[in-house]
Amino acid sequence: MAVFADRQEVTLLSTLGIEIVETGRERVVARMPVAPRVHQPFGILHGGASVALAETVASTGAWMNVDQASERVVGVEINANHLRAKRDGIVTAVATPVHVGRRTQVWEVRITDERGKAVCISRCTLAVVPAAGEGAA
């Protein structure tokens, strides 16, 4: 599913191999392969890669809930509990909304392995901001 294909030529999503496979206002699902490019030095999934995956699905879900012509969403805070080591295979992230407000959204993200066992649990808070000035540093 190429939700951001026009914006994603070379981004962190493509670098990490994140593939968004389902989008909606109430649920977003993405997968990421676990291989050396997302490992920490001891050969297991880097917590930062899990957090990047979590923020990706949370941000995508939040974006599905705003006026895309005039608003954007930006991460304000994210936390993550890394529950299980993963050396290879695929992890799947599922984001669901906890709160969808006019100016903030909070999303819960559950990252699991192929057997459905929890690898990471995360919560991401996003701000809804005007789209004006897009592209400015």
The secondary structure of 32-77 as a DSSP string is EEESGGGB-TTSSB-HHHHHHHHHHHHHHHHHHTS-TTTEEEEEEE
Q: What is the pLDDT of residue 96?
A: 98
Tell me the domains of the chain and their CATH numbers. 5-130 (3.10.129.10)
Answer for the pair 127, 102: CB distance below 8 angstroms, yes or no.
no
Q: What is the pLDDT of residue 132?
A: 79
Instruction: Check if 55 is active-site.
Output: yes
Q: What is the pLDDT of residue 36?
A: 97
Give me the catalytic one of 19, 26, 55, 134.
Answer: 55
Across the range 78-101, mean pLDDT stands at 98
Q: Has residue 135 got a pLDDT over 90?
A: no
Closest CA to 83 of 50, 115, 58, 108: 50
Answer for the pair 38, 46: CB distance below 8 angstroms, yes or no.
yes
pLDDT digits (tens, 9 = 90+) for 26-67: 999 999 999 999 999 999 999 999 999 999 999 999 999 999
Q: For residues 96 and 72, what is the distance between their CA atoms, to the nearest angstrom?
A: 18
Is residue 136 very low, low, confident or very high in pLDDT (cuts 50, 70, 90)?
Answer: very low
Closest CA to 104 of 75, 80, 131: 75
Q: Has residue 137 got a pLDDT over 70?
A: no
Q: What is the pLDDT of residue 5?
A: 55
